A and B are shown apart, each in its own frame.
Chain A
Amino acid sequence: MNRKIHLTVNGTARSVEIPTYRTLLDCLRNDLGLTGSKEGCGVGVCGACTVLLDGKMISSCIALAVSADGHAVTTVEGLAGDERLHPVQQAFIDAGGFQCGICTPGQVVSAKALLDAIPNPTDAEIREWMLGNLCRCTGYYKIIESIRTAAQRSRA
């Protein structure tokens, strides 16, 4: 069965007709052309598909697109707003917080949500918030450093 859904994506109203079985991730990637969010594990564990739904982090690979009807979605492509890069994204570049980059969209979306909720997080708070964002390349040390850097810069 197909459904027409209306949602706000990165601040822009979008409408799209999709089968009910379409995940939010596949809808974003294939129907709306926003390939920044990635499918990794496909079971909501790795976080590569993280987007914000009404400002909250979710796993878009296990969310139905129809459940986003009438809601607002923010993807990695929408983090920077009018700037080229959001400060979190810049911090990941400067502190070496990514290597292959496949987990990076999920990491920066989650990190932005973290700093919105907790502007000055402790290491423990960073580790708890980011638990659901796996990375296989970096060993996480520089992801923590990137988030600390972003937090420091926003305080300065």
Chain B
Amino acid sequence: MNAFEYAAPRTLDEALTVLREHGEEARVIAGGTALVTMMRQRLVSPGYLISLHDIPGLNRIEVANSGLRIGALVTHREVETSPIVRERIPVLAETFRRVASVRIRNMATVGGALAHADPNQDPPVTLIALGARVEIRGAVGRRELPVEEFFRDYYESSLAPGEVVTAVVAPQLPPASGAAYVKFLPRTADDYATVAVAAVVSLEPDGERCRQARIALGSVGVTPIRARAAEALLAGQRFSAELLQAAGESIKGAVDPLSDHRGSAAYKREMAAVIVARALTQARDAARATARGTR
């Protein structure tokens, strides 16, 4: 790794000040799993690292408007094992559980994962399907935006210079809904996904028709994507094999995967359709179970 200056400020304001002072030379570090790995590989060489891990108040999981606010310094493992998360938004706990190994999850943070903006990561996919929002602080103040709008390109988020993620706020599922996160990894269980899909399905009162679906995919482009065209096909429709097939075909047109070590673009395109169908089916089954009160 290159030589660098290191600061571990005790307040967020201090961190933001130092961050602004050092501009492009500075990077924020939380768990460090992605950043230190990249620095060791000399993919990035920041001259100044600002650690957030001494800043209080950023590592809480709290109920917020019946959804959850998860602080940026909460680790993946904490989300995965949190009784509140498992109770209120279980698909979120299940998604964080799929990341790498327990060891990595002990270190990697929610905020760090978002800021890293790797389209192969798991949490953003489910956060998008849930309609979660990111809270951001910068020197000029705070703002927030949907996670769906947070990613710009491969490893590029919409954080402006001097900004950090402070929390993510995820709503609970609407009534009569179920969710699923399906991660397709044909190599080993600690891998990134070849294709990943998060689906939230809300049923009509008759329990047969889909009132609304929200579908997000990971590893199928330079950012995670929301499959609005497929969602539109499903709205108000009765579930059937043909419907899922049509949704799958629409997905193939909506994704623009990159070939990588986990699969060629052509294969990922095909698998996007297959895994969307599986995720929708699982989400629908979960919704039915909720409706029946068996969940």
Given a CB threshold of 8 Å, the question of whether A touches B is answered with yes
| B51 / chain A contacts, CB cutoff of 8 Å | 66-67
Q: Chain B: how many interface residues by the 8 Å CB criterion?
A: 28
Interface check A149, CB cutoff 8 A: no
**Given A20-B4, A20-B49, A21-B1, A63 and B103 contact (CB-CB distance below 8 Å):** no
| A23 / chain B contacts, CB cutoff of 8 Å | 1, 36, 40
Q: How far is the CB of A38 from chain B (nearest CB, A)?
A: 14
| A16 / chain B contacts, CB cutoff of 8 Å | none
Residue pair B103, A66 in contact (C-beta under 8 Å): no
Chain B 79-120 interface 0/1 with A at a Cβ cutoff of 8 Å (1 = within): 000000000000000000000111110110000000000000
Q: Which of A47-63 contact B (CB under 8 A)?
A: 47, 50, 53, 56-59, 62-63
Interface check A144, CB cutoff 8 A: no
Residue pair B1, A59 in contact (C-beta under 8 Å): no
How far, in angstroms, from A47 to B100 measured CA to CA in the complex? Answer: 12
Residue pair B32, A110 in contact (C-beta under 8 Å): no
Q: How far is the CB of B84 from chain A (nearest CB, A)?
A: 19
Q: How far is the CB of B151 from chain A (nearest CB, A)?
A: 23
* Extra contacts besides A23-B40, A67-B29 (7): CB < 8 Å: A1-B4, A20-B3, A62-B36, A62-B37, A66-B6, A110-B103, A129-B102
Residue pair A67, B40 in contact (C-beta under 8 Å): no
**Given A64-B32, A64-B36, A59 and B3 contact (CB-CB distance below 8 Å):** no
Interface check A36, CB cutoff 8 A: no
How far, in angstroms, from A66 to B8 measured CA to CA in the complex? Answer: 9
**Given A62-B37, A67-B32, A44 and B103 contact (CB-CB distance below 8 Å):** yes
Interface check B189, CB cutoff 8 A: yes
| B104 / chain A contacts, CB cutoff of 8 Å | 44, 59, 132
Residue pair B106, A1 in contact (C-beta under 8 Å): no
How far, in angstroms, from A110 to B102 measured CA to CA in the complex? Answer: 10
Residue pair A63, B107 in contact (C-beta under 8 Å): yes
How far, in angstroms, from A131 to B191 measured CA to CA in the complex? Answer: 11
Interface check A153, CB cutoff 8 A: no
Residue pair B190, A131 in contact (C-beta under 8 Å): yes
Which of B3, B8, B49, B103 is in CB contact (< 8 Å) with A132?
A: B103
Interface set of A (CB-CB < 8 Å, partner B): 1, 3, 19-21, 23, 42-45, 47, 50, 53, 56-59, 62-64, 66-67, 69, 110, 128-129, 131-132
Which of B6, B39, B189, B190 is in CB contact (< 8 Å) with A3?
A: B6
Listed from nearest, the 5 A-B pairs whose CB atoms lie closest are A132-B101, A20-B6, A21-B1, A62-B36, A132-B103
Q: How far is the CB of B160 from chain A (nearest CB, A)?
A: 26
Q: How far is the CB of B113 from chain A (nearest CB, A)?
A: 14
Residue pair A44, B37 in contact (C-beta under 8 Å): yes
| B101 / chain A contacts, CB cutoff of 8 Å | 47, 131-132
- Listed by A's residue number, 14 A-B pairs whose Cβ atoms lie within 8 Å are A1-B3, A21-B39, A43-B37, A44-B37, A44-B104, A45-B190, A58-B106, A59-B103, A67-B51, A110-B103, A128-B102, A131-B102, A132-B103, A132-B190
How far, in angstroms, from A59 to B33 measured CA to CA in the complex? Answer: 9
Q: How far is the CB of A133 from chain B (nearest CB, A)?
A: 8
| A3 / chain B contacts, CB cutoff of 8 Å | 6
Residue pair A50, B103 in contact (C-beta under 8 Å): yes
Interface check B60, CB cutoff 8 A: no
| A128 / chain B contacts, CB cutoff of 8 Å | 102
| A66 / chain B contacts, CB cutoff of 8 Å | 6, 8, 51
| B106 / chain A contacts, CB cutoff of 8 Å | 53, 56-58
How far, in angstroms, from A49 to B32 measured CA to CA in the complex? Answer: 15
Q: How far is the CB of B291 from chain A (nearest CB, A)?
A: 30
Specify the chain B residue showing the minimal Cβ separation from A113.
Answer: B102
Q: How far is the CB of A101 from chain B (nearest CB, A)?
A: 20
How far, in angstroms, from A11 to B102 measured CA to CA in the complex? Answer: 24
Specify the chain B residue showing the minimal Cβ separation from A1.
Answer: B5
| B33 / chain A contacts, CB cutoff of 8 Å | 44, 59, 62
| A1 / chain B contacts, CB cutoff of 8 Å | 3-6
Chain B 188-205 interface 0/1 with A at a Cβ cutoff of 8 Å (1 = within): 011000000000000000
Interface check B20, CB cutoff 8 A: no
Q: Which of B36-55 contact A (CB under 8 A)?
A: 36-37, 39-41, 49, 51, 53
